[in-house]
Structure 1
Amino acid sequence: MRSTQQMSITLPVEMAKRVKQRVSDGDYASESEVIREGLRALQERENAVEHWLRTEVAATYDAHKADPTKAKPLGEVWKRLEARMDEIDREED
């Protein structure tokens, strides 16, 4: 059984140029490697968000249900949420 499967994909022109440029710059040996790396990065990001939701967000929700008087104003919550997402993005770079 093959461990790979050939596919045909369609990309916007600018994305296709970026893929080809990464190969021509020598960053990757093939266009397939560029796409695989992008998919791995996407999976890592999704895993990080899932982990954060299951641990920090779920724990916060449980704490709020246990004592609603400790709720934070919505503006403060959004600032903290955006800061955390920025932190996750920096960790991926």
Structure 2
Amino acid sequence: MPQAVKRNVALPPDQARYIDTLVASGAYRSKGAVIRAALRALQARDEAMERWVRVQVVPVLDALQPDRGRATPDDHLRTAVRRQQAVWLEAAPEGKEG
């Protein structure tokens, strides 16, 4: 494993308590393990969003390219993206980002 790079972060008290609770429960060995798991989850969510855009959104936009008159207005696309993002955020631990 590559050498770890240290970072210092400031957290709101509720998030710091949550990390302490997870470590005290034995679910994680250390505070760093909690943060690493959280970052892996964030990366997975971002990769899923990128995959969704690449696999489902881009092909539709490409198909509409020849006849822009058939295209859905940008605000409808933005709404669809926000709706999908909300679904993923609700499924994420704690149901919020922050």
Shorter-chain TM-score: which interval? Answer: 0.7 to 0.9
Alignment of 1:44-63 (within 5 A): 44-63=44-63
For 2:37, the equivalent position in structure 1 comes to 37
Length-normalised TM-score, structure 1: 0.74
Q: Secondary structure at the match of 2:4?
A: coil
**Residue 53 of structure 1: how far off its partner (Å):** 1.4
Higher relative contact order (CA 8 A, sep 6+): 1
The total of aligned residue pairs comes to 93
60-69 or 9-18: which moved more? 60-69
Q: Secondary structure at the match of 2:65?
A: helix
Any gaps of 5 or more consecutive residues in structure 2? 94-98
Alignment of 1:11-90 (within 5 A): 11-68=11-68, 70-72=70-72, 80-81=80-81, 84-85=84-85, 88-89=88-89
Q: Structure 1 residues 38, 66: CA separation in 2 closer, same or farther (over 3 Å shift)?
A: same
Task: State, as a whole percentage, how many aligned pairs show the same letter.
Answer: 28
Any gaps of 5 or more consecutive residues in structure 1? none
Q: Which amino acid aligns with 1:48?
A: A
Q: Secondary structure at the match of 1:9?
A: coil
Cα RMSD of the aligned pairs, angstroms, is 2.7
Q: Secondary structure at the match of 1:66?
A: coil
Q: Structure 1 residues 86, 34: CA separation in 2 closer, same or farther (over 3 Å shift)?
A: same
Length-normalised TM-score, structure 2: 0.71
73-82 or 29-38: which moved more? 73-82
69-78 or 52-61: which moved more? 69-78
**Residue 85 of structure 1: how far off its partner (Å):** 3.5
**Residue 71 of structure 1: how far off its partner (Å):** 3.9
Q: Partners of 2:70 and 2:6 in 1: how far apart?
A: 54
